[in-house]
Amino acid sequence: MSIFTIRLGVIGDAEEIGSLHVRVWRETYRDLMDADFLAAIDETERIDNWLEIFRTDSDEATFVAHDRANELVGFASAGRPHDADPAGDADAPRALELFVLNTLSHTHGSGLAGQLLEAALQDRPALLWVVENNHRAIAFYEKHGFSLDDAKKWDDKSQTFDVRMSR
């Protein structure tokens, strides 16, 4: 029996997701991204972004995970790819993209990320982008059938390269 409850997210979750999004980024990327960039992430902007996603993006599904104390501890979101292949192909190489999978660090190793991945993608072919030097995430996705391909893009905001993985 899982210690987490996973369900489809709703607009009423946007504030909690936005706050958690900022917290997870600051935990996860503290050794991979500039500290000033992470400190400057605006929680209100993240909340507004999630409100917009819930209001307008019918192609995107977001799943939220709560622990036994009903604290939000993770979320995942997937849908139709937003970007064409940066190599110049007309379409992305998969019809489904995992946009985000974030969990609090104290849940790492608990199986939560795998449960969220399953909720968001099932066993369907998909693609995702991951920070190039995030070796923990890359290993996790490889364990779940993803492999790196040749696509890579620069993120001006975070000043990092993202690499694409697909299955």
Domain ranges for the chain, please list them. Answer: 5-166
- pLDDT > 70 in the chain, percent: 93
73 pLDDT more than 60: yes
Residue appearing with tokens 């940066």: 86
How high is the pLDDT of residue 82? 78
How high is the pLDDT of residue 47? 98
- pLDDT > 90 in the chain, percent: 86
Weakest mean pLDDT among 49-63, 105-119, 126-140: 49-63
Higher pLDDT, 57 or 55: 55
Instruction: State the Cα–Cα distance between residues 57 and 142, nearest whole angstrom.
Output: 28
Instruction: State the Cα–Cα distance between residues 59 and 41, nearest whole angstrom.
Output: 26
User: Residue 84 — very low, low, confident or very high, per pLDDT cuts 50/70/90?
Assistant: low
Mean pLDDT of 24-33: 95
CATH topology of domain 5-166: Aminopeptidase (3.40.630)
Count how many residues are written for the chain: 167
How high is the pLDDT of residue 88? 47
Indicate the pTM of the whole model.
0.91
Mean pLDDT of 67-96: 80
How high is the pLDDT of residue 150? 87
